[in-house]
Amino acid sequence: MMRCIDSREKAMADRTAAHGRLEDVASTPEEFDRVVSQALPILLERAGNCTRRFLRETGQWSDDTAHEKFVLRWSAEYLERFMLYGRSEVPCRPLFLLDSFVAKQHSQPEPFCYHPELLAPLGRFLDGLVARAVISRDALIALYHHCYGMSPRDVIAVTGLNESESQRIYKNFRRWRESGWQRTMDEIGMTDAELEQLIVRQERHPQRFNHEAERIIRFAHDHYRKSEPDHYPCLSRSEWASMFLEGYGCNYRLWHLALCVDCVQMTWDLGRHKASTVEKPRLELRVRP
């Protein structure tokens, strides 16, 4: 009993000391790294409190596990960026720099994609995939598989890539299967039970499940497409046709078609290598990579 109290007191003392160090000035990047890496739980909690307060003040908060997970996910995201950018802000007081960094993120018009439906397991899964696609090319290419069940060859056919560009698609698929998918699931907090639950739901009511997935993914697409290069808008079929025919805008095709259900359904047959196996894409969610 006494030992337990002692260890708790020691933990409290350590925490207080770490907190104190975070309030002191870090003069060099190395010192910043050291102080921050020793106090990651405190900083995560601090970022979480700021995010929770933001959600409360904007009327988006509810006391449940889904919201807590949402807060944790975004707090970790902020903290990761803070650890990177803070090094170039020395000399600084890390604790207060974190506050200002998180406040700056929240001052943006839509700091994150929030919708009650995106907090349920299916919404969280789709939101996580699309959010990851914005920062990872592997995840971007994997969207073609998760949404439409395409293989690397189908992706190459649908996007009309040439020989040299198509090699990377295989690499993207491989890396996603090896580690990307699992890392994304870890980061969005999807448990194995939740994933299994999604698979069972899809097996029982495939049509209803896919219909719901399409509705949610359109919402996520609308939000995250703002992060793609701003000169990649939706095009008419004739404009897409000329792009495919003349072979320019490779990135345009890959980025936009992965994040736009309507455009991929409009252009699926425009690729130069018309593979007979490719059918008009319909949203049929694949949970596993």
Q: Is 228 in the site for another protein (CB under 8 A)?
A: yes
Which CA distances in Å does 161 have to 181, 239, 243? Answer: 24, 17, 11
Q: Is 189 in the site for another protein (CB under 8 A)?
A: yes
Give Cβ neighbours of residue 246 (< 8 Å, ≥ 6 apart). Answer: none
CA nearest to 210, candidates 265, 287, 280, 152: 287
| Pick 45 or 279: Cβ nearer another protein | 45
Measured between alpha carbons, how far is 113 from 224 in angstroms, rounded to an integer?
A: 8
Q: Is 177 in the site for another protein (CB under 8 A)?
A: no
Which CA distances in Å does 86 have to 33, 45, 183? Answer: 9, 18, 25
The 3-class SS string of 113-156 reads CCCHHHHCHHHHHHHHHHHHHHHCHHHHHHHHHHHHCCCHHHHH
Closest separation between CB of residue 158 and another protein, Å?
Answer: 17
Site string for another protein, 116-135 (x = CB under 8 A): ----------------x-xx
CA nearest to 244, candidates 227, 266, 221: 266
Q: Which stretch binds another protein (CB under 8 A): 5-13, 70-78, 258-266, 280-288?
A: 70-78
Closest separation between CB of residue 98 and another protein, Å?
Answer: 13
Measured between alpha carbons, how far is 271 from 150 in angstroms, rounded to an integer?
A: 14
Q: Is 138 in the site for another protein (CB under 8 A)?
A: yes
| Pick 29 or 206: Cβ nearer another protein | 29
Q: Is 158 in the site for another protein (CB under 8 A)?
A: no
| Pick 28 or 251: Cβ nearer another protein | 251
Q: Is 183 in the site for another protein (CB under 8 A)?
A: yes
Q: Is 68 in the site for another protein (CB under 8 A)?
A: yes
Closest separation between CB of residue 220 and another protein, Å?
Answer: 16
| Pick 190 or 283: Cβ nearer another protein | 190
Q: Which stretch binds another protein (CB under 8 A): 3-11, 116-124, 185-193, 199-207?
A: 185-193
Beta bridge partners of 92: 26
Measured between alpha carbons, how far is 126 from 217 in angstroms, rounded to an integer?
A: 6
Q: Is 161 in the site for another protein (CB under 8 A)?
A: no
Which tokens in the block code for residue 162? 């040439």
Measured between alpha carbons, how far is 73 from 80 in angstroms, rounded to an integer?
A: 11
Which residue of 159, 172, 202, 267 would you call a contact of another protein, by CB under 8 A? 172
Measured between alpha carbons, how far is 279 from 84 in angstroms, rounded to an integer?
A: 44
CA nearest to 258, candidates 143, 176, 136: 143
Residues that bind another protein (CB under 8 A): 37, 40-41, 44, 65, 68-69, 72-73, 76, 79-81, 83-85, 87-89, 132, 134-139, 168, 171-172, 175-176, 178-180, 183, 186-187, 189, 191, 227-233, 235, 239, 242-243, 248-249, 251-252
